[in-house]
Structure 1
Amino acid sequence: MAKDRSLLPIPAGMRDFLPGEAQLRRVLENKWAQLYTSWSYEEVMTPTVEYLDVLTIDTGEEMAGRLFQFFDRKGHIMVLRPEMTTPIARLMASRLYKDTLPQRLFYGANVFRYDEPQAGRQREIFQSGVELIGASSPLADAEVIALAVEALRQSGLEEFQISIGQIEVFNGIMDELPLSPEDKSKIRDLVAKKDFVSLEEFLQNHHLNLEQAELLLRLPTFHGGKEALEEASILAVNEKARQGLENLHQVYSALCLYGVEEYVAFDLGVLRGFDYYTGIVFEGYTVGLGFPICGGGRYDRLLSQVGYDCPATGFAIGLDRVLLALSRNQQPKTHTKPDVLLGGDDLVEIFAKAARLRARGFRVEVDVLGRQEEALKAYGRERGIADIIYFALSPREDADDVKKEA
C-alpha cells in the first residue's frame, strides 16, 4: 500500500530545493566564492551547532528570542547558529589569534532563526558573506561595501541600493538624553523600524524638550546622496556624533574611488538588529522586495567579548532573497538538460565516449534502462536533449558472443 504523501511534511519555515532551484543556488554561491577569493578573502567554515553562551555574547535580546536551542546529553544548552559573525569572532579569538592582521575571511552557510515564516523570511537561511578583521580605517568599511555591491551586481540584479548609516551618530544623540538604558533601547527599535507614530508618542510620554524630540524624529529622514549627509550636520550634538558624520564622509569618498557611488545612499535610520555594531552599518534593498537582501557593518567590540580585542567589519547576503528578487524580475530558469544522451548495447564504446565528452566539459547522460534505439530517441526528445547516440554491437561481435555461448 502506497504511503499517503500528506504524511510527509517538513518543518515550518524550511523548504526543499528541486532540480534547477538547487543548481541556481550552487551557481550563485560559487560565483560569489570566486569573487571573494579574487579580493584576497579566504574561506572558513564553523559548526552548525554551538554553545548558547558563546553565540549570545553580544547579539541582543531580539536575537535571543529567535534561537533554536536544545540540550545535549550532558545538559549543555546548544543552539543552531542564527548568524555567522559571532561564530567567526569565536574562531578568530580561539584559532587564528596568532595570525597576521588584517584577516580577510568569507563563508557560505545555513543559519537558523525562529521567525514567523513568510515570503523572503524562512527559518533556515543561506548566507554568503565576508569579515575583514583587524582594520579600523574607513578604507576597510569602504572595501566591504564595495565588495557587497559587486556581489549583488554579479548575481544579475540590475536595480538595488546600499543604504548606509552610522551607529555613533545615533549614540551621540542618545548620550544627551536623560533616559534609562531600557528607554534608549526602545527608541533605537522604533527608529530602526521607522515607526514615526510610535516614536513621537514615546517621546511625548517621556517629556523630552522640543529640540531633543525634533532631532530624534528627523534622524530617520536623512536619506539620499551626499546632500543628505551635508544636511545631517545638525545632528552633530557632541564629539561622538560629529566623528560619526565625519566617518561617513570618509567612507563615501573611498566608495567614489571604487566607482560604486551610484549604488549607495545615506540613511541615518539604518541601525541594524544586533547590539554588536559600533560604527558604519548598511543594508541592501532591491525593487519588488520590502525587506533587505543584505546587511552588515562595523563591530569593533565583539571580538573583545571573546577575549581578542580587535576591530572588524563585514556583511552577509541572503542568497535565497536574491534568488527571489531575480525570479520576480526575470523568467524563471529551468534546470540544465544534458548535452548528449548515450545508449545501446556496446557498453565499452558508451562508457569510453561518455568519458571523452565529460572531459571536454559536456553534460552526458548514459541510459541505464537498456532502451532500444527508438525508445531511447523518444526519451531524449521528451527531455529536450539535442544529441542522442545509440551504440549497437557490430554483427561480428554478435557472432563471437554466439560462439562463446555454444
Structure 2
Amino acid sequence: MNKIKLPTGLRDEFGQFAENKDIISAWILKLLRNRSYSRINMPIIEQRRLFDDFATVNQQYRVFDPAGDDLVLRPDLTLPIARFLSSTNVSMPQRLYYIGEKFEISPELSGGKNEQTQVGIELIGYQSLKAEMEAVIFMHQLSKQFLNRHHLTIELAHAKLVDQVLSALQLDHQLHTQLAQALYHKNFPAYDALLAKLGPCGAVSEKMAPHVWHR
C-alpha cells in the first residue's frame, strides 16, 4: 500500500502514550461514576450552526453530507450537551460527565494539535456555588493523582467579560473581533501582536489576558 499521510495537526496514538491516556481516562471515569455522575456520549458530527459563536469557519472541519446539511466535526463537547438538553425532556438537576475527541484547526505554526481529547463535567440545575465547589474538588483530586501537586491555582472567569472590556476601549469592529477570538482560543502570540496596535489603552486589556477562559 502506498504511504498515506495523516492530515496536518492529527496523529496516531501508540504504545506508552496510548496506555497512559487510557490509565488517566479510566481513573477519571471511575471517580466521576463514584460521585454519581451520568455518562453522556454525543455524535462526533454536528450541525455547523451549533458552533456559530464558538469558532470561525476556517477553524472547523467541514463534513460533506449527501443530504445537503452543513456539518462539522465537533470543535467542542459542551455546546452539544446544551443542544441535547434543549431537545429532550431530561429531568433536572443533572450531573453529567463526558469524554471524547474534538477537532479544531490550530493557528499555523502555533504547535497546537487539531485533535484533542476533552473531558468535562456539567452540573445543571444546581446552585452556582455548589457547582463551582464540585468542580474545584474534582480538579484538586486530578492534580494530586497525576501531577503530584497539593497546591493548585484555579482561575475562574466568564467569557462575556472579554466583550465588556473590549467594548469599553471603543475599538473598530474588526480589531474587537480579532482580539476576542485570540483570547477565546488562548492564542497569546496573536493577542500580543494585536495588542501592540492599541497603544496606551492596551494596558487595560493586557491585564485580563491570563485570566480569561471560556465556560
1:59 aligns with 54
- Find out whether 1:41 has 2:37 as its counterpart: yes
Asked if residue 162 in structure 1 is aligned to residue 162 in structure 2, the reply is no
Q: Which residue of 2 aligns with 1:152?
A: 143
Identity rate, percent: 21
Q: Distance in 1 between matches of 2:160 and 2:66?
A: 43
Q: Which amino acid aligns with 1:20?
A: Q
CA distance in 2, matches of 1:165, 1:68: 28
Q: Quickly say closer, same or farther: Cα 1:198–1:157, change in 2 above 3 A.
A: same
- Structure 2 unmatched runs, 5+: none
Deviation at 1:180, TM superposition (A): 5.1
Q: 3-state DSSP class of the match of 2:95?
A: strand
Q: Distance in 2 between matches of 1:29 and 1:84?
A: 16
C-alpha contact 1:113 1:124 (8 A) present in aligned 2: yes
Q: Distance in 1 between matches of 2:164 and 2:70?
A: 37
Aligned pair in 2 of structure 1 residues 176, 24: CA closer, same or farther (>3 Å)?
A: closer
- TM-score, structure 2 length as denominator? 0.78
Does the CA-based 8 Å contact 2:61-2:105 persist in structure 1? yes
Change in CA separation of 1:171 and 1:79 when aligned onto 2, cut-off 3 Å: closer
| Count of residues paired in the alignment | 210
Q: Which structure exhibits the higher relative contact order, with contacts defined as CA atoms closer than 8 Å and separated by 6 or more residues?
A: 1
Output the CA distance in 1 between the equivalents of 2:174 and 2:125.
32
Does the aligned pair in 2 maintain the 1:71–1:78 contact within 8 Å? yes
Q: CA deviation at 1:29?
A: 0.4
**Mapping 1:124-273, distance limit 5 Å:** 124-135=115-126, 137-158=128-149, 161-167=153-159, 169-174=161-166, 176-179=168-171, 181-189=173-181, 193=188, 195=191, 198-202=194-198, 204=199, 213=201, 217-221=203-207, 269-272=210-213
5+ residue gaps, structure 1: 205-209, 222-266, 278-296, 298-406
The normalised TM-score by structure 1 is 0.45
Rg larger for: 1
Give the CA deviation at 1:40.
Answer: 2.5
Please report the RMSD computed on the Cα atoms of aligned residues, expressed in angstroms: 3.2
SS at match of 2:66: coil
In structure 1, C-alpha distance between the alignment counterparts of 2:112 and 2:32, rounded to whole Å: 25
2:136 is paired with a residue whose SS is helix
Gap change, CA 1:185 and 1:90, over 3 Å in 2: same
| Gap change, CA 1:125 and 1:47, over 3 Å in 2 | same
Which residue is equivalent to 2:70? 77
**2:9 counterpart residue number:** 13
Residues 376-396 of structure 1, C-alpha deviations (whole Å, 9 max, x = no match): xxxxxxxxxxxxxxxxxxxxx
Which deviations, in whole Å up to 9, do the C-alpha atoms of 1:244-284 show, x marking residues without a partner?
A: xxxxxxxxxxxxxxxxxxxxxxx664323xxxx5xxxxxxx
Instruction: Tell me the equivalent position of 1:225.
Output: none
1:93 is aligned to 86
Superposed counterparts of 1:325-404, under 5 Å: none
